[in-house]
Structure 1
């Protein structure tokens, strides 16, 4: 995942997060998610434009930060503000998720680089849950140039600029390259999206926002 990661570790983490993304929706439905198939129709799917990634010059490069745990995330564009809880692994090796009973809570994946380090840091959040909108309900509205700020435990704030937004079928998630190594500090924001498949009790897509560090 980071420049220190091996190919086998990246493959392992990809498999874990695919399981997480499925778990986010299963938990939301089981514990009373925002789209109860028996009582209400889910909102219509909103297509996400594939935004070309701008080419960064060497002058745009920002030095990577040392490791430091993130404490909060702020995304003005979509009015998303949350503390960040650490997400590790459950005993069965599935990834922990933010509590579905508090869908406005976001979390960061502790086996990825911390935001600002070289490599793709990962923040996950619910699109909905407990009959409420989730922290990333509007994530699909993000576009290239939007800013994401993450406050860190060492007192610094890592500011990222969105480079692209993809709506990815879950069946193609592994081929998306979300967790591939990167030359500099980057960020991935992930949630569920697209059509809600009532028979599978699951969303068919993921929304993935890609961003790079522009200020530290």
Structure 2
């Protein structure tokens, strides 16, 4: 089982996000989403760089990642009956979700955002997530009128078997963000073999 803060989340999370229907119909080699290079993995003190002071809790409404042209609304995600993290509707390609029973982006702790890499019609909101590089900016519009600005300090891909639950979902002493989609190779029989995870920390608020 995987933990999201103090809540247990089942491995169904990766399965729900990672069916890869579009790849099945259009050919794997020419349409596979980018995967992070080893240079983007966390090294040294990447995960300990100073963060901006935490913001008060406020639900997020939108996420923007300029480097990969993401500009998408956010919907709240809960848990499925089996205890897994629910996912955004597959038919809405430009929609991401955040775990609304956990940390809100910008407050102290680990906030979780997830979205599909593709659906039956083509690339979805986080199709290019694996191409993101360290130092990239992520902006989250908050309902209080402010914007939480995060800086990426690592981008990594894991197979389902090697997924580091505590590293991804565990609590943090500073405001951090995880953005998750599918990755780690692809099989026609089972779909994507794992996940791409972006690790980022708060580096400044704007507005509000």
What TM-score do the two structures reach when normalised by structure 1?
Answer: 0.83
Task: Show the counterpart of 1:178.
Answer: 168
Q: Classify 1:9/1:169 alpha carbon distance in 2 versus 1 (closer, same or farther; 3 Å).
A: closer
Q: Distance in 1 between matches of 2:140 and 2:5?
A: 24
Q: Distance in 2 between matches of 1:44 and 1:107?
A: 23
Structure 2 residue runs without a partner (length 5+): none
TM-superposition CA deviations, 1:139-161 (whole Å, max 9, x none): 00111100000000011110000
In the alignment, structure 1 residue 75 sits paired with structure 2 residue 68: no
Task: Show the counterpart of 2:196.
Answer: 207
Q: Distance in 2 between matches of 1:55 and 1:93?
A: 29
Task: Show the counterpart of 2:26.
Answer: 40
- Secondary structure of the 1:186 match is strand
Structure 1 residue runs without a partner (length 5+): 1-7
Q: CA deviation at 1:40?
A: 2.9
TM-superposition CA deviations, 1:87-131 (whole Å, max 9, x none): 012344332210101122111111220000111101101100022
In the alignment, structure 1 residue 22 sits paired with structure 2 residue 15: yes
In the alignment, structure 1 residue 102 sits paired with structure 2 residue 92: yes
Q: Distance in 2 between matches of 1:11 and 1:112?
A: 9
In the alignment, structure 1 residue 142 sits paired with structure 2 residue 128: no
Q: CA deviation at 1:71?
A: 0.4
What TM-score do the two structures reach when normalised by structure 2?
Answer: 0.86
Q: CA deviation at 1:64?
A: 0.5
TM-superposition CA deviations, 1:64-104 (whole Å, max 9, x none): 01110000001100000111000012344332210101122
Q: Distance in 1 between matches of 2:67 and 2:176?
A: 19
TM-superposition CA deviations, 1:12-68 (whole Å, max 9, x none): 43x33x321211224xx6xxx3223xx3322346442232353655xx431101110
Q: Distance in 1 between matches of 2:164 and 2:7?
A: 11
Q: Classify 1:47/1:93 alpha carbon distance in 2 versus 1 (closer, same or farther; 3 Å).
A: closer
Trace 1:102-121 onto structure 2 (pairs within 5 A): 102-121=92-111
Instruction: Output the aligned Cα RMSD.
Output: 2.2
Task: Show the counterpart of 1:5.
Answer: none
Q: Check the 8 A contact 1:170/1:204 in 2, yes or no.
A: yes
How many aligned positions are there? 198
In the alignment, structure 1 residue 123 sits paired with structure 2 residue 108: no
